[in-house]
Amino acid sequence: MTWLLVIIGAAVGAPLRYLTDQRVRARYATTFPGGTFLVNVVGSLALGLLTGAALAGAAGSRWQALLGTGLCGALTTYSTFSCETLRLTETHRRRRAAANVAATLLAGLAAAFAGATLGRALWG
């Protein structure tokens, strides 16, 4: 049953990541991988919210499997982030690569902290 919830969540999260990346690429003509950055930050915010809710006792293990492991886990990605960073360094855009790493880490952590604090405030 939990497997099924993870699968359902991931089957929504992965196409959402793909569509977001396509939209961002279409809208902003830049070498900065904004789509991956966006999904990672939004996914971290959502998982922070869920973690705060779970700590407050408002989200059970099924919600965590569906939304946390499935949706947020598949919405965010590490492999694409590292690959795009590598591609930036390979094409001699080292500053952009460093900016990508710093921005993703900082914004992702900040989003998770904000989400968790908000989740605790909402459901705590």
Site residues (vs other proteins, CB under 8 A): 2-3, 6-15, 17-19, 21-22, 25-26, 29-31, 33, 40, 43-44, 46-48, 50-51, 55, 65, 68-70, 72-84, 86-88, 91-92, 104, 108-109, 111-113, 116
Smallest distance from other proteins to CB 18, Å: 5
User: Which of 26, 57 has the CB closer to other proteins?
Assistant: 26
Smallest distance from other proteins to CB 102, Å: 14
Give the separation between CA 14 and CA 17, rounded to whole angstroms.
5
User: Which of 63, 113 has the CB closer to other proteins?
Assistant: 113
With H, G, I as helix, E, B as strand and everything else as coil, classify residue 52.
helix
Alpha helices in the chain (DSSP H): 2-27, 34-55, 61-63, 73-75, 79-90, 94-123
**How far is CA 65 from its chain centroid?**
16
Span between the terminal Cα atoms of the chain, in Å: 28
Smallest distance from other proteins to CB 5, Å: 9
User: Which of 29, 57 has the CB closer to other proteins?
Assistant: 29
Smallest distance from other proteins to CB 60, Å: 15
- Contacts of residue 106, defined as CB under 8 A and 6 or more positions apart, other chains included, come to none
